[in-house]
Structure 1
Amino acid sequence: MIGDFNELLFQYEKRGGNPHPNRLLRGFGETIEYCGLAQLPMDGYQFTWEKGKGTSRWIEEKLDKVLTTSTWCDINTMVRVTNILTRKSDHSALFMGIHDPMGRARPRRRFRFEMTWTYDEGCRAVVEEAWGEGRGGGLQECIVHCGSQLSRWGGDRYHKFGERIEQLRKEQLYLKGCTDLDSLSEFRRLEEELSRIEA
């Protein structure tokens, strides 16, 4: 079972605010045990819900969990749960991957046109030049060559945005849960910059 259980198993699954009532922790823990379930460990940030983000009353909790039986875990030995932080929701997204135990190689990534490219004046020039270069081989050759050139151009140009977003998220992650004025101010500044870059 995966999702928002709206309950905690341990006090360390909460940061900020008042401690969680011990009777509720015990009750949820006993219920999980009675059902023969256990919580899978999670990679990444350990809190999945937040309230008062970026303020002195910031509360974070691990409300979202993956619960399984030991039999299921014995069958799915390569399972990994990852917390994917979101910026627009108060809950994170949990991703549960069951990795291929045979270790087969991933298929080669296919070309995908990125709509953000259309906002850059250079996109048109790349398409026109690539189309002209591939013209001798017919329509299919034009399409393949154009895709290749756009991938190279777009990757070189836009991976820097991805790197900057990743850097800002790391800086913001370092500040999560800090409620002193300087940290809150810096967190909000990073939030504004992330919003601007993503837009």
Structure 2
Amino acid sequence: MRTNGEFKKVLNNCDLRDLGYCRIPYTWCNKREGLSSISERIDRFLANSQWCQLFPFPTVTHRSVAYSDHILLCVETDDGCEIRQGRKPFRLKPMWVGEERCKQVIEEVWRGDLSDGTIEEVMRKIEGCNMKFNSWNKKKFGLVYKNL
């Protein structure tokens, strides 16, 4: 088991810093009540020095999310804009989770190893899921959100 000191050493060696958080102090809970309840801050938003120079006053907030025991992390830059690139970010819809095709799409796209292990490759795989889910969503559910 890794110690907190070892984790801090890795962050230092990789020039990463924890951006902290606002509001809710925990990002995971075991969904139990009373003395059996456990809450921890295990998810973090990390950034390197270059990113911190571009965005010197980020705000990280924790938001609840359905179908997970983890809390969504959101980062806002000093100008109050959520960090986004281009289009609306990919979101896994709660209505997809119970569908067998949801699991199949993820398995198809993520099959095999991450050959170079870069963030670009991870982003390509997420974009691949996004494209397949959007196509499947239109066929399976139609324009649910537009109709609502």
Band the TM-score falls in, shorter-chain normalisation:
0.3 to 0.5
When normalised by structure 2's length, the TM-score is 0.48
User: Which of the pair has more CA radius of gyration?
Assistant: 1
Greater length-normalized contact order (CA 8 Å, ≥ 6 residues apart): 1
TM-score for both structures, normalised by structure 1: 0.36
